[in-house]
Amino acid sequence: MDHYRSIVITGGKGMLAHALADQLRQRGLPFAAVDVDVADITKPADVARLFADKHPTLLINCAAYTAVDLCEAQREKANSINGDAVALLSECCRQYNTKLVHYSTDFVFDGQSNVPYKPTDPPHPISAYGISKLFGEQKIQEINTPGWLIIRTAWLYGRHGNSFPRTILKLAKSGRPMRVVNDQTGCPTYTVDLAAATFDLIAADAAGIFHVTNSSATTWYDFAAATLKLFATAAELVPVTTEQWLLERPNQARRPAYSVLDNSHCKRVIGRVLRPWQEALADYRATFATGAEYL
């Protein structure tokens, strides 16, 4: 990692960027975290100026349009941020000989498998968000900046910003029963663990597509129940099927029924798998000094 003299994180105000920044501070490495107010990655002039000013040797792209349901009605915006902008970054990385690290998603798969998805499995997204993220992946591969690294992850949550646990805890305060989908299976991933694995992969000169999530699989319903238990918050959870949920909210995006990612390729490179999601969630809870702080 020490040979990366200039590190830039785009999407610098986001949940994952905060965790990456914390890791870099712990490692004593200088970096710049920039967001849309400094450099709009959809604008060629902004991207060109960012590279001219910073001359990054490592660029970690956390910028993305992640409003999964809104992407259905805003496909052009999703493709612009998650696809075209990624191409702009990739082109500049090639010009400046910058290593590019980019994050993608389990939503590039259709969820019809019953075994964890490998990085080599053919993608088949079923939502506008998934399509836009695959578009970005394809642009990186077409431009083929030397040493590019795509990290697919899933069900991300962290200390900064909105995430599923925070949403559940806020809804619990209303006192109303919460209907939570119980037939979608995936792996919740803590930003702190993903950030650490990211830098382990970079240190190992990893390139290509990697899957990185916390270990074990669960449903959204069980994830919600575990969150409420850890935060000692009482609430009524009602399990529902995906079809029931979509009947109530027909404009929402379809999500893969099974999107567990196979992390074995990552394990071969960094020598470990990420801890179980239950342990990571307990650490997430421990970062809050008081019960009210998470709201």
Annotated active-site positions, please?
129
What is the Cα–Cα distance from 219 to 232, expressed in whole angstroms? 20
